[in-house]
Chain A
Amino acid sequence: MIELRQVTFWYHGQPEPVLSDVNLSIGEGELVLVAGRTGAGKSTLLGTVNGLVPHFTGGHLDGAVAVAGVLTRSRPPREFAHLVGVVGQDPLAGFVTDTVEEELAYGMEQLGLPPQVMRRRVEETLDLLGIADLRRRALRGLSGGQQQRVAIGSVLTTHPRVLVLDEPTSALDPTAAEDVLATLARLVQDLGTTVLMAEHRMERVVPFADRVVYVAGGGRVVDGSPSAMLRDMPVAPPIVELGRLAGWEPLPLSVRDARRLAAGLRADLGAPPPRPVPTGETLLTSSDVVVRYGATVAVRGVDLDLHAGTVLALMGRNGSGKSSLLWALQGSGPRQGGTVRVGGVDPGQRSSAQARTLVGLVPQTASDLLYLETVADECAAADAESGAATGTCRTLLDRLAPGIDPARHPRDLSEGQRLALVLAVQLAAAPRVVLLDEPTRGLDYTAKHALAGMIRTLTGEGRAVVVATHDVEFVAAVADRVVVMAEGEVVSDGPTAEVLGGSPAFAPQVAKVLGADWLTVEDVRTALAEVAR
């Protein structure tokens, strides 16, 4: 169905090719998972399938890519619309019309299908994806998971033979992501469409993937069966890492498989690791915080205390009030009721320059804070803004992410490096409370590891850190305390092991296999080392 023969691709002026000499042949009805680190070339590989690379992106492509026998070299991407459906990371950015029904019909209108066929397919697709009750809704008013399902539906209506999905769940909360992935699994079973998908929640896709393609970076691409590939891929879900650690054979790909193999390991492990709850001095107290936008209430009377040297994870589905709470605590966002005190002062009453010396916030789109041409300029501006000594910001940056070239443009940095830069800019004002809103978005396993290191550095200096995130595994690795919000209220609050381990929705994979006391592969590794000694 898809043939790549000796494909080499590079952007003009870049010394290294993004893809070099890639050979790949994907048969009809296969589901192929594309894995690799951020920036390794996954999106480029996916883009070659319908010719967006290089017709749209520019650059130079050698070799041949063919879909159903048609070479992408010979035609522009729009002539592949009936063969290949493409779904991106951010569904809202790809919508052309503004209601669900029209969006589903858009692709068919372009292909010039007869009106009766369009009518029938729209109805079928609405049912297939379970979105029939949304048909007249405005696209902007839908939740993220609903939007992504509409985006998938809008390419399915043209009955493409290949579906290409580039990290379709990266912007979704865990439940919405499950929804989308479950829908996709069903489509593969029912329609027999060939699917090529990049996805960082690999564990959800691996059980029904026929093949894994690993983009290794430096242009190399390796492919093979999932169990063979996962044995030594550097990016792997925790369950596979646990399997490698325990030496399980064959390597388990799902929680179910792993649990069957885990009896021996459970017996080997001694007592669960002790989890001391650090209790530093209270840096921030808040009570009865209320945030509302017109008639909608975002935060309904939340009480929260933050202690020095601890990491608090704030969880909950999209729209549960996490961001509104963080902005209200920082003082820049609206707050209609309640009190916030940082060292006896309400940051909401202070000027924004003073508020940031009390509480630092890194917003969801961190790059909103950056506007200058080089890293050095940003650092200098940050020092000036916070009245810190020259070089403060740069020193902080070097501690968080060493070795960033000061002459580089902030936009050219990797996601992780950019996050470090924004964090350094905010820390230049020396706040003792640091709030991070969805910092793990778009980060791969390695970058998350680096972020966890940064957060540990901050708590080591006696700061209080709050991380709002959907990433259960990340929370299991860094947080001391977890607060779960729903509909603007706190629904659970307690030590990480208690909150995560006991909940079926939030339990990390290791806990699902070994029980609520074990949260991360790291826990297991230390425990095994103890036992060996």
Chain B
Amino acid sequence: MRATYFLPRDLHPAAWWLWALGLAVAASRTTNPWLLLTIIAVAGYVVAARRGAAPWALAFRMYLYLAGCIVCLRVFFRLVFGGAEGTTILLRLPEIPLPAWAAGIRLFGAVSAESLLGGLYDGLRLAAVVVCLGAANALANPKRLLKAMPPALYEMGTAVVVALSVFPQLAESVLRVRRARKLRGGANHRRLRALHAIVIPVLEDALDRSLRLAASMDSRGYGRAALVRPRQRVATGVLMVLGLIGVCVGGYATLDGSTPRLLAGPVLVLGVVVGLLGFHLAGRRVQRTRYRPDRWRPPEVVVVLSGVGVAVTLFATSTVDPTNLNPSLLTLSWPALSWPPLVGVLLGVLPAWLSPPPAPPHAGAGHDAEEVSA
């Protein structure tokens, strides 16, 4: 049991997403910089320990840069659009007077430490959420996530996969055609004409390719459907529509306090149930199987529990002691940190040890480079 638990493999992508969403929810509950930095550190550590060598895994750095930018922007905006709340004025910039129609907006002027700090905390919170999503993206193979979709959405999933593979191809043809344009000496043309010269061959190429792909998919059995009796088709449709109506009415009633409560919770639940039933029936029409599907095994459960654990602790502790999660900005002081939320957030780092390592890159990794140069 222990031996198979830690065998290298890729976890179910949904497990990583649930874990990351747990962390993100936790981050959105607090503005305490210590907690937020801990969350970022936890996400970063798990990514470093458990990501593979695929391109999407290497994109985590981009999310970190983005998070940094968010923090800087938030602080910068406080500087530009006035930050005079509070009493500790750090800086007095000349204020630029604005016309009457822009009342309520201030450019420059006095800048207080409180408002800068507010910007920093706010930015940090958003940054932590972004880093959590980045971690999910780095740890879970996006294509496998699409494959794990319910059967009723199968066709849509395939369409997305095909669409994703089109972009690198388009970029390739644009490069090729631009190179070819140079052969005709076409650099010194009017802009519109040059664009025409690139767009036409690229579109021709893309259309050609998609037609050939469609022919190939058709002849390989894409879209083969099981025979569906008309009555069953009608039942599926009716269930889906009823479910949708239920969800709409229930959702509206939940948000609008003046409608009878009977229309809120119960109708919403009923709508979801009926809709799911229709969804399931629709899925039965698709008669296909999956090659080596991702299985839900104990490590997946552990990963999800750790993420959910983080979110739950922060919800629980905020009702006890909200001041620790949202440090006061009225009186300047070092934000305090209490043990319970910190320990809660640290739960999130468990997958770094309690999940199996990713499958090693294929044996032929060295080959790729050889192939290109050969």
Chain A contact residues, CB within 8 Å of chain B? 50, 52, 55-56, 76-82, 84-86, 88, 90, 93-98, 101-102, 105-115, 118-119, 122, 133-138, 140-143, 154-155, 158, 295-298, 317, 319-320, 327, 330, 332-333, 351-356, 360-361, 363, 365, 367-371, 382, 385-386, 411, 425-426, 429, 487-488
Contact = CB atoms under 8 A, between A and B. Distances in A.
A143 B224 CA distance: 31
A297 B290 contact: no
Given A52-B218, A425-B184, A81 B224 contact: yes
Given A297-B373, A382-B184, A385-B186, 6 more contacts: A96-B222, A110-B222, A110-B224, A115-B290, A320-B374, A386-B185
A369 B362 CA distance: 39
B164 to A, nearest CB: 9
Given A52-B218, A332-B183, A363-B183, A79 B162 contact: no
A173 B57 CA distance: 35
B149 interface: no
Contacts of A317: 374
Interface stretch (B83-91, B174-182, B238-246, B323-331): B174-182
A88 B212 contact: yes
Given A134-B364, A369-B180, A50 B222 contact: no
A487 B373 CA distance: 7
Contacts of A295: 369
A456 to B, nearest CB: 23
Contacts of A93: 209, 212-213, 216
B9 interface: no
B217 interface: yes
Contact of A105 (B209, B224, B291): B291
Contacts of A332: 179, 182-183
B321 interface: no
Given A115-B289, A353-B185, A369-B184, A97 B161 contact: yes
A369 B181 CA distance: 6
A351 B291 contact: no
A112 B177 contact: no
A425 B219 CA distance: 39
A40 B29 CA distance: 70
A429 B204 CA distance: 26
B371 A142 contact: yes
A411 B207 CA distance: 13
Contact of A107 (B183, B184, B220, B367): B220
Contacts of B177: 368
Which of B183, B287, B292 is most buried by chain A, counting CB atoms within 10 A of its CB? B183
Contacts of B188: 351, 353
A137 B362 contact: yes
A86 B212 CA distance: 12
A386 B185 CA distance: 8
Nearest to B367: A137
Contact of A82 (B182, B221, B362, B367): B221
B372 interface: yes
B201 interface: yes
Interface in B318-374: 362-364, 367-369, 371-374
22 contacts: A52-B218, A77-B218, A81-B220, A93-B209, A93-B213, A93-B216, A98-B165, A105-B291, A109-B289, A110-B224, A113-B289, A115-B293, A136-B364, A137-B364, A141-B368, A295-B369, A320-B374, A332-B179, A332-B182, A356-B185, A369-B184, A385-B184
A429 B185 contact: yes
A296 B369 contact: yes
Nearest to B165: A98
A93 B208 CA distance: 9
A155 B220 contact: yes
A284 to B, nearest CB: 16
Contact of B288 (A98, A110, A320): A110
B211 to A, nearest CB: 9
B196 interface: yes
B289 A112 contact: yes
A90 B215 CA distance: 12
B200 interface: yes
Contact of B373 (A105, A107, A298, A386): A298
A297 B367 CA distance: 15
Contacts of A114: 289
A360 B185 CA distance: 10
B223 interface: yes
B197 interface: yes
B49 interface: no
B187 A52 contact: no
| Residues of B contacting A: mostly | helix
A296 B374 CA distance: 9
Contacts of A135: 362
Contacts of B196: 371
Interface string B289-310: 1111100000000000000000
B87 to A, nearest CB: 57
A368 B221 contact: no
Contacts of A367: 201, 204
Contacts of B219: 50, 52, 77-78, 80-81, 84-86
A202 B10 CA distance: 46
A79 B161 contact: no
Contacts of A426: 183-184
Given A50-B219, A86-B216, A425-B184, A296 B287 contact: no
B158 interface: yes
B288 A133 contact: no
Nearest to A50: B219
B292 A119 contact: yes
Contacts of B92: none
B154 to A, nearest CB: 10
A97 B141 CA distance: 14
A346 to B, nearest CB: 16
Contacts of A82: 221
Contacts of A369: 180-181, 183-184
Give the residue among B215, B369, B372 with the most A Cβ atoms within 10 A: B215
A85 B219 CA distance: 7
B76 to A, nearest CB: 36
B293 to A, nearest CB: 8
Nearest to A114: B289
B204 to A, nearest CB: 7
B233 interface: no
B224 A108 contact: no
Contact of B143 (A98, A118, A297, A360): A98
Nearest to B172: A140
B183 A365 contact: no
A142 B367 CA distance: 9
Nearest to A354: B185
Contact of B185 (A101, A320, A351): A351
Nearest to B218: A77
A427 to B, nearest CB: 12
A319 B218 CA distance: 32
A118 B289 contact: yes
Contacts of A361: 183
B368 A368 contact: no
Contacts of A138: 368
A96 B197 CA distance: 29
A106 B220 CA distance: 8
Contacts of A333: 179
Contact of A78 (B176, B184, B218): B218
Contact of A96 (B220, B289, B363): B220
Central interface residue in B179, B184, B186, B213, by most chain A CB within 10 Å: B184
B179 A52 contact: no
Interface string B105-146: 000000000000000000000000000000000000001000
A373 to B, nearest CB: 9
Nearest to A386: B185
Given A81-B220, A371-B197, A330 B289 contact: no
